[in-house]
Structure 1
Amino acid sequence: MLHFECFPRMITTNIGGLERVASAGVTVRSYSASLISNRWLRNLRLYWSARRSDHLVIHFDFRDVAFFAVLFTLFPGRRCRLTTLDLFTERPRRQGLCFMRWCLRRVDRLLVYFRDTSPFEHLLKVSATKFRYVPFKINGLQYIRTMVSTEEGYVFCGGRSRRDFRTLFDAVKDLPYLVKVVTSEESEMKPHGSTMHGLSVPPNVKIIRRDSDQAFFLDCMARAKLVVIPLIGDSLTQAGIGVYIQAMALGKCVIISSGVGVRDVLTDQAVIVRPGDSSELRNAIVRLWNDDRLRGQYAERARRYALPLGGEDELYRSVLASLPGDESRCARA
């Protein structure tokens, strides 16, 4: 149980929901996109509030980080600590990299969903002490709590971010298993680093373009024998974390490509394969499909790992407990 009396008295945020878990005596001013849709008007409102706050806590978007870094530098006023949640960045060009490094010097705490921060420390010149790992949440927990997992004789693959469909198709072609891929339209997945353009879909693979329908997505996952998450290899970009946690909460055996937030977080809760290696992926699918005992062992360890993560409120409690300058005075009882 967290002791919230260690928290600051004033927090400004663009994360709707933090106010639900704040303790008595802590004021959380929330200006989310649902309240102020225009990014720059929202950021101006956040900045004005932050000038009277102990902390500004925002979702990581580099445009917003740059906005606040510049304003806090030009008009410092009261020292408000800046914390970001999540970290998404592509390898920037040289000039952009210099500006990004400058902006991140003004960030006091980077809350991330992965443990190995060394690639980001090296590229962005950010001290390891600025990073804090927070476990991600179970998306769709309200649905998962009501579901009964079964095994109906197919492999499930879902999601749209940095999915390596080429490797998946190469791995499962000619296998005697049905594979259901629940994803989005090409125009929606492409901005997230995925594509099926030019790929030949094997006859045993069924493409379902409904990944935005959460209830359908989870129901299809809950009835699968195996969950496979093939990811494009990248040392800087995380993907698949939300989906593997959902699958684990449903008690599914998961096969996933190694990557940020996978190799550095999971141990024996999933089968981790090399990115882009269709032979290794194929062998893992065949082995786990045919070995009921091994598949069940992975599924049980996965469930024990995922269920304690909880939902949105548990994540937000972790965020409040990890604000800079406060965690040393926080305790768990």
Structure 2
Amino acid sequence: MYRYTDIRNDWRLLDEETFEVPSGIELLSHEAFASPNGPHVEQVRPSSVIGPFRMVPALHHLLYALQLLMRCRNHSVLIVNGSSPLWLAVGLLNQTLFCLRKRRVLCWALHAEPSTRFSREIMRWGLKGTSLSLLWSKNTVSSHVEFFQLPETRFLFMPYKANHSKELPYKLSLDNYVFAGGNSKRDYDTLLTAIKGTGIPLVISSTDPEVKSSLRDLSNVTVVSAVEPEFAELQAASRFVVMPMHEEGIRGAGEANICNAMWHGKPVIAADNISAHEYIQHGQTGFVVPSGDTKALRDHIIRLWNNPELTRTMGEAAHRHVVENFTQSSFSQRLRRLSAILGTEEFFVPHIRTTKIQLEAETPSRQAS
């Protein structure tokens, strides 16, 4: 049976057909896990008492978090989505009210990037009440450790997923434009500089008014505000996808966008220093260049645009790469299996400076007692 330390060294162990799921572990979540892959996760819905407080989101989150933590038993693991404020409520309560017997909490898709010292301390306290947080690149593990001054064992890199892989890939290739999309941390100025004067048609999709208003008006660039499923259709109908990213903050962005594009059989050219290299095989499924490197970005865009056969073969390789590594079902299985492993570990956190994680499973003698 694998331990947490094994997974830290190689997340691919979670994919093995011979993986032994620990017995006697109860997995709980505020979300529904529809996929049959992996151990069962019980969804705990808000009680009827909490329901009326939905009009006061902060109070609702605290009451729901309290309900979830009280539902946990000795060998329960609570799975929370870090893109929801609920994770912070769970962490804060687990660190304060349940400090004598902390619940095991796994937070995935952690979105914790505070802009003030006060909010950083609040999030740091919440993270101290979270057993493990999943991040989408090794670089972000290092940045979170440094920023929050927490042990590295509190964060784990496990790759994200192609959300579009819940459905079959679209076969809409028009091949007559390049696509770039998304809002968070996008460096469209570098992209526009790279593509200026090439005559290559570019479609940019952003739903953020500030992002749209900042885009320069170029004759070969079309700006739209597509949402799903139109966003996916634009990706799938393009010749290839470009992801220009700013290097800022403690977390990356665009991981799902990269995986989705490759799922639809599109090579991805990313200008990124944080996460892209974890997903794109440089020279095989796309290209990764440094953030802000206009010349390198321009060279690869022109190269792929002028070589349809290379674009096709790289796109096919990109789809295979997602099938083998980044599908929705694979991610769900990894998340559940990892959660089950955490149920066998003893997380003891008396203080940030004396944090100790006992990674040895209970010995037979202790179990007998």
Q: TM-score, normalised by structure 1?
A: 0.82
Q: Supply the AA of the counterpart residue of 2:266.
A: K
User: 2:273, 2:84 → 1: CA distance?
Assistant: 22
Q: Provide the rounded CA distance (Å) in 2 between the counterparts of 1:205 and 1:304.
A: 30
- CA gap of 1:220–1:231, structure 2 versus 1, over 3 A, is same
Alignment of 1:267 with 2:281, yes or no, is: yes
Q: Deviations over 1:257-307 (max 9, x none)?
A: 214321344332321122223222211111221234443443233122112
State whether structure 2 residue 189 is matched by structure 1 residue 174: no
- In structure 1, what is the equivalent of residue 331 of structure 2? 315
Between the aligned partners of 1:225 and 1:61, the Cα distance in structure 2 is 31
Structure 2 vs 1, CA of residues 86 and 27 (structure 1 numbering), >3 Å: closer, same or farther? closer
Instruction: Map Cα deviations across residues 180-226 of structure 1 (whole Å, 9 max, x no partner).
Output: 1222251xxx4xxxx1324322011111221x132x22222222112
The CA distance in 2 between the partners of 1:2 and 1:42, in whole Å, is 39
Residue number in structure 2 paired with 1:228: 242
Q: Distance in 2 between matches of 1:281 and 1:219?
A: 24
Q: Which has the larger radius of gyration?
A: 2
Select the residue among 233, 253, 267 that pairs with 1:253. Answer: 267
1:302 aligns with 2:318: yes
Written as runs of structure 1 = structure 2, the 5 A alignment for 1:71-90 is 71-76=93-98, 78-90=101-113
1:56–1:81 Cα contact (<8 Å) kept: yes
Query: Number of residue pairs matched?
Result: 316
Paired residue secondary structure (2:276)? coil
Residues 66 and 184 (structure 1), Cα distance of their counterparts in 2 relative to 1, 3 Å cut: closer
SS at match of 1:161: coil
Structure 2 partner of 1:291: 307
Match of 2:122 among 96, 99, 112: 99
Looking at structure 1, the residues matched to 157 and 77 of structure 2 have their Cα atoms a distance apart, in angstroms, of 18
Amino acid in structure 1 at the alignment position of 2:171 = V
Deviations 1:28-49 (A, max 9, x none): 13338xx969343354234223
Code of the residue aligned with 2:277 in structure 1: it is: R
- Could you tell me whether the CA contact under 8 Å between 2:163 and 2:256 is conserved in 1? yes
One-letter code aligned to 1:47: L
1:149, distance to aligned residue in structure 2 (A): 5.2
- For residue 309 of structure 1, report the CA deviation from its aligned partner: 3.9
CA distance in 2, matches of 1:142, 1:110: 24
Instruction: Tell me the C-alpha RMSD between the 2 structures.
Output: 3.0
Partner SS state of residue 322, structure 1: helix
Instruction: State the shift of 1:72 in Å.
Output: 2.3
Conserved in 1, the CA contact under 8 Å of 2:262 and 2:322? yes
CA distance in 2, matches of 1:310, 1:263: 14
Tell me which residue corresponds to 2:13: none
Whole-angstrom CA distance in 1 between matches of 2:268 and 2:318: 8
CA–CA distance in structure 2, aligned partners of residues 218 and 27 of structure 1? 29
Q: Paired residue for 1:9?
A: 25
Asked if structure 1 preserves the Cα contact closer than 8 Å seen for 2:247 and 2:274, the reply is no
What is the letter of the counterpart of residue 263 of structure 2? A
* TM-score (normalizing by structure 2): 0.75
What runs of 5+ residues in structure 2 fail to find an aligned partner? 1-16, 346-358, 361-369
Q: Residue 31 of structure 1 corresponds to which residue in structure 2?
A: 45
Q: Distance in 1 between matches of 2:142 and 2:149?
A: 10
- With over 3 angstroms needed to count, the CA separation of the structure-2 counterparts of 1:103 and 1:247, relative to structure 1, is same
**Cα contact 1:182–1:217 (8 A) shared by 2:** yes
Give the Cα separation in 1 of the matches to 2:125 and 2:163.
34
The correspondence for 2:69, drawn from 46, 50, 54, is 50
1:206 paired residue number:
222
Report how far residue 91 of structure 1 moved: 5.0
How far apart, CA to CA, are the structure 2 residues paired with 1:65 and 1:121? 18
For 2:232, which of 218, 222, 241 is the aligned residue? 218
Provide, for residues 13-57 of structure 1, a one-character-per-residue CA deviation record: whole Å limited to 9, x for no partner: 12222685464xx5613338xx96934335423422322311221
Q: Is the 8 A contact 1:248 1:254 kept in 2?
A: yes
1:20–1:270 distance in 2 versus 1, CA, 3 Å: same
Residue aligned with 1:57, SS: strand
